[in-house]
Amino acid sequence: MSFLSEINRRRTFGIISHPDAGKTTLTEKLLLFGGAINEAGAVKSNKIKKGATSDFMEIERQRGISVSTSVLAFEYNGIKINILDTPGHKDFAEDTFRTLTAVDSVIVVIDVAKGVEEQTEKLVEVCRMRNIPIIVFINKLDREGKDAFDLLDEIEQKLGLKVTPLSFPIGMGYDFKGIYNIWENNINLFSGDSRKDIEDTIEVTNLASDELNTLIGDTAANTLREELELVEGIYPKFNQEDYLKGGLQPVFFGSALNNFGVRELLDCFIEIAPKPRPKQSEERLVKPEEEKFTGFVFKIHANMDPNHRNRLAFVKIVSGVFKRNTPYLHVRHNKKLKFSSPNAFFAEKKEIVDISYPGDIVGLQDTGNFKIGDTLTEGEILNYKGIPSFSPEHFRYINNADPLKSKQLNKGIDQLMDEGVAQLFTLDLNGRKVIGTVGALQYEVIQYRLEHEYGAKCTYENLNVHKACWVDPEDEKNDEFKDFKRVKQRFLARDKQNQLVFLADSSFSLQLTEQKYPTIKFHLTSEFN
């Protein structure tokens, strides 16, 4: 198959949602259709020992939540699909934001009963900032929930999207009869049997015919006709160009747990979703069909196999072809590296690949060369943009609970921070280490992983910090900057990249500092060049 047709048959997307909207279940059902797995592991409660395929860290299995992004790949109808399943929990939002730099489109999962939730709003905002094409999947239709039109209004108002339904529910909860597929003009009847791989689909060419009444009953048939007339009157017709520009969002209804409405979503997705897209680097726009290989690291995962101290750097291929055992330039280090066993993923199952194309995600064995945002090329100096660190919400001192294991603790902290689990700040005054996280649950994850993967124990101590601000002085030699460093000495720290950070203890003190030192800028993200 030619290089261009390999690019054209790839679809790389992320699945995002609020926790418990059924995102991981949807991922599993997509894999089921792709023939990648034979049976889905229901992620319903922590009691179920068999976790979902995409949750492979022990702590995820115990909690029943996804705490790090998984990469899953499968083939469906000749299309190579790469899914990035992201954590829904807000405490792990930073991992999700970074993952959104590596996808070409997203599917947003919304719970029919809860509607649009806070975390969904934040994630969709990031997608809209980047004009990422979005498909909405309204899940759990077999349960009682909000009216379909109310939900569509809520999505438009709260998420600022312009929607067009491509399928529509026939009833809901106890009255749920099935789904009318507007995209393909057919009806999918709901039997409630989750063991069935694919439900019966019945072609409906004429909605006015009595055939519809025979299938779903008079009342449901009349309601469906009225509702579809409303859909046609209110919502714009689907236009692929608008969708690809991020200006129109198709909506599908279904029940992932019951394997219902998922095939419709997948069939439409492979037809309309974007193939690998160009990506902006600081130097220029890079197109996927360019001959020379380029790619960037968007995630690092340590100890995927706890028996072997190993790290995997997840690289999204932007252009050209990535080949095994070929030397590529690590731009930040300015040195050539060769990879003898690049991995393709299926959750924790990995296989060595000889060749990968734009849109693919490869895992590279890493001994500490990579950090998030690094670029690999065939020699060109390129730096891909848009993988910043955000100011954390929580701050704690980290202390060593076992003095004999200080080496293991330092190594563990170092590797987990490279992975982007949290951020590390070292105080200028006394060298004490401070860990900043997006959510408090991160501290538990760090403690658990330090103990189970590195054999080190730690304790935490609260620290009153409002925000971490990256310091950007106009002139490092002027008296104002020297005065700032002297007066604020006990609030100054260095991040892992040795950038100066001001740990402001309140919004009031941050405002005062900004007024007192007008030539110094304070940034809430680490990318401000």
Domain spans of the chain?
Answer: 3-176+237-272, 279-377, 394-523
CB 372 within 8 Å of CB 297: yes
pLDDT of residue 182: 87
How far apart CA 132 and CA 15 sit, in angstroms, is 12
Angle of helix 118-129 relative to helix 148-159, nearest 10 degrees, comes to 60
Q: List CB contacts of 417: < 8 A, sequence separation 6 or more.
A: 423, 424, 496
Q: How many CA atoms lie within 13 A of 60 on its CB side?
A: 23
How far apart CA 47 and CA 51 sit, in angstroms, is 10
Q: Which of 65, 64, 85 shows the shortest CA–CA distance to 74?
A: 85
- DSSP character at residue 390: B
**What is the CATH topology of the domain spanning 394-523?**
Alpha-Beta Plaits (3.30.70)
* Topology alike, domains 3-176+237-272 and 394-523: no
Query: What is the CATH architecture of 279-377?
Result: Beta Barrel (2.40)
CB 360 within 8 Å of CB 293: no
Three-state DSSP at 332 gives coil
pLDDT of residue 69: 46
137: its two tokens: 């999947």
| Residue ranges of E strands in 213-324 | 249-253, 279-280, 285-286, 294-302, 311-319, 322-323
- What's the average pLDDT block by block, 10 residues per block, for the chain (529 residues)? 89 85 81 63 36 48 48 85 70 66 91 84 81 92 86 92 91 80 82 53 71 80 87 91 92 87 89 92 91 90 56 88 92 90 69 87 84 88 74 89 91 81 89 87 86 90 91 89 92 90 92 92 73
- DSSP character at residue 185: T
Question: 44 φ, ψ to 5°?
Answer: -105, -40
Three-state DSSP at 370 gives coil
Q: Do the bridges between strand 178-181 and strand 186-189 make them parallel or antiparallel, or are there none, so unpaired?
A: antiparallel
Ordered strands of the 394-400 beta sheet: 458-462, 394-400, 433-437, 423-427, 492-494, 500-504, 467-473, 520-523
**What is the CATH topology of the domain spanning 3-176+237-272?**
Rossmann fold (3.40.50)
Left, alpha or beta for 65 (phi > 0: left; psi -120 to 50: alpha)?
Answer: beta
Left, alpha or beta for 178 (phi > 0: left; psi -120 to 50: alpha)?
Answer: left
Q: How many CA atoms lie within 13 A of 300 on its CB side?
A: 25
